[in-house]
Amino acid sequence: KRRIGVMTSGGDAPGMNGAVRAVVRMALFSNCEAFAIYEGYEGLVQGGDMIKEMNWEDVRGFLAEGGTIIGTARCMSFMEREGRRTAAKNMILKGIDALVICGGDGSLTGADRFRDEWPSLIEELVERKELTSEQVAPFKHLNIVGLVGSIDNDLSMTDATIGCYSSLARICEAIDSVDTTATSHQRAFVVETMGRHCGWLTLMAGVATGSDFIFIPEKPVEDGWEDNMLSIVKKHRQLGKRKTIVIVAEGAIDVHLNKITPTQIKDILSKAGLDTRVTTLGHVQRGGQPAAYDRMLSTLQGVEAVKAVLEATPETPSPVICMIENKIVRRPLLEAVAQTKEVAKAIESKDFEKAMRLRDAE
């Protein structure tokens, strides 16, 4: 029987529990054994009770829970070869030779590196007499499958990451709340949103809430943006709008605004005569129950991840499970991560055309 491990790693995202549930249950359905690795790579390095066998009922109720029940952590020791060697040993002791990792690009890069090094890590464990050659014999290859858990929706080669639609829904709820008080007092609000190098959350929230002006990392601000923003806001007011909402993606602050903060944008609106406040949504955007879309996405992707494990050969590059035009597909994990990093670099160097071209590439 194959033994498949599942873990969540990096920043948490709503829907990660749905992925764990789907992997566990699809593994059991496929006549495999399933193991949850607690606290991301930390659990792999510590081993023992941090790697627990999971039965069907152990993941009951996971679908509607936010965050990640099996925990996540940033693990420094897994960045070192020694930590990865210990992780390999712990996996062999539990009989696990396949890992499904739900995390961001860092976690997926670490996973692929682990797979690459696996044969030499095993050799070292035998040389160091930590394991015998009989013990390691059945574990020649490690299978890795990635699932992208991130509210930012920043991975190339997928239309949606697990968590982004929940976060979008939460941002819209929050802006709706701000709207009612803004309308009552005829105020303006500058709302800061998450997303790192990706403006997806902000762009979609802007559309979904009918906000007045947004700043995203992908769109450069032109000279005179202050006057442009004020004239748009003024026009909306003249049309009878009693509120003003400006959304600033955190990524735009660094890339475009020469570190102009939401408070400084507030000052511009205040000087133009609008009673303006700043609201930073912060971690509220990451918390709470997953939206229906993320429950569906994580379930479909978790099922596909187990299929990918069972079909993998030593030659198959590690896949990441994606969603492209409403279809669940596999893409080479390393290529998707490399392309994501290229996009971030292009944005930092203000080559926005390149960034958009790369992000659209499948």
Smallest distance, ligand ATP to C-beta of residue 301, A = 16
Q: Which is nearer to ligand ATP, 109 or 279 (CB)?
A: 109
CA of 285: how far to CAs of 86, 172, 174, 249, 346, in Å? Answer: 35, 10, 9, 12, 26
The answer to whether 110 contacts ligand ATP (rule: CB under 6 A) is: yes
For 88, phi then psi, to 5°, come to -60, -40
Name the nearest CA neighbour of 106 among 85, 128, 142, 76: 76
Q: Of these residues, 12, 112, 152, 212, which one is catalytic?
A: 152
Q: Which is nearer to ligand ATP, 111 or 175 (CB)?
A: 111
For 14, phi then psi, to 5°, come to -60, 130
**C-alpha 106: how far from its chain's center?**
10
The answer to whether 158 contacts ligand ATP (rule: CB under 6 A) is: no
110 is in an annotated binding site: no
The answer to whether 150 contacts ligand ATP (rule: CB under 6 A) is: yes
Contact pick of 6, 8, 10, 262 for ligand ATP (by CB under 6 A) = 10
The tokens for 138 are 């059945």
Contact pick of 5, 11, 71, 206 for ligand ATP (by CB under 6 A) = 11
Alpha helices, H only, 36-127: 41-46, 81-94, 105-127
Residue 133: burial class (beta carbons within 10 Å; 0-12, 13-18, 19+): exposed
Q: Which is nearer to ligand ATP, 110 or 260 (CB)?
A: 110
Smallest distance, ligand ATP to C-beta of residue 342, A = 15
Q: Which is nearer to ligand ATP, 99 or 265 (CB)?
A: 99
Q: Which is nearer to ligand ATP, 81 or 128 (CB)?
A: 81
Q: How many residues bind ligand ATP (CB under 6 A)?
A: 17
For residue 278, the cross-strand partners are 190
Whether the CB-CB separation of 284 and 174 falls below 8 Å is answered with yes
194 is in an annotated binding site: yes
Question: Among the candidate windows 3-11, 15-23, 25-33, 183-191, which touches ligand ATP by CB under 6 A?
Answer: 3-11
The tokens for 42 are 């930390």
Contact pick of 5, 15, 104, 217 for ligand ATP (by CB under 6 A) = 104
The answer to whether 321 contacts ligand ATP (rule: CB under 6 A) is: no
In sequence order, what DSSP letters do the residues of 117-134 get, joined into one string?
A: HHHHHHHHHHHTTSS-HH
Which are the contacts of 118, defined by CB distance < 8 A and separation ≥ 6? 88, 141, 142
Give the amino acid at 3.
Answer: R
Residues within window 63-82 making contact with ligand ATP, judged by CB under 6 A: 74-75, 78-79
In sequence order, what DSSP letters do the residues of 136-197 get, joined into one string?
A: HTT----EEEEEEB-TT---TT-S--BTHHHHHHHHHHHHHHHHHHHHHHT-EEEEEE--TT
Per the annotation, the verdict on 227 as an active-site residue is no
The answer to whether 250 contacts ligand ATP (rule: CB under 6 A) is: no
Contact pick of 5, 71, 103, 319 for ligand ATP (by CB under 6 A) = 103
Catalytic residues: 152
Q: Which residues are known binding-site members for Mg(2+)? A: 105
Q: Which residues are known binding-site members for ATP? A: 11, 74-75, 104-107
Q: Which residues bind ligand ATP (CB under 6 A)?
A: 9-11, 41, 74-75, 78-79, 103-107, 109-110, 113, 150
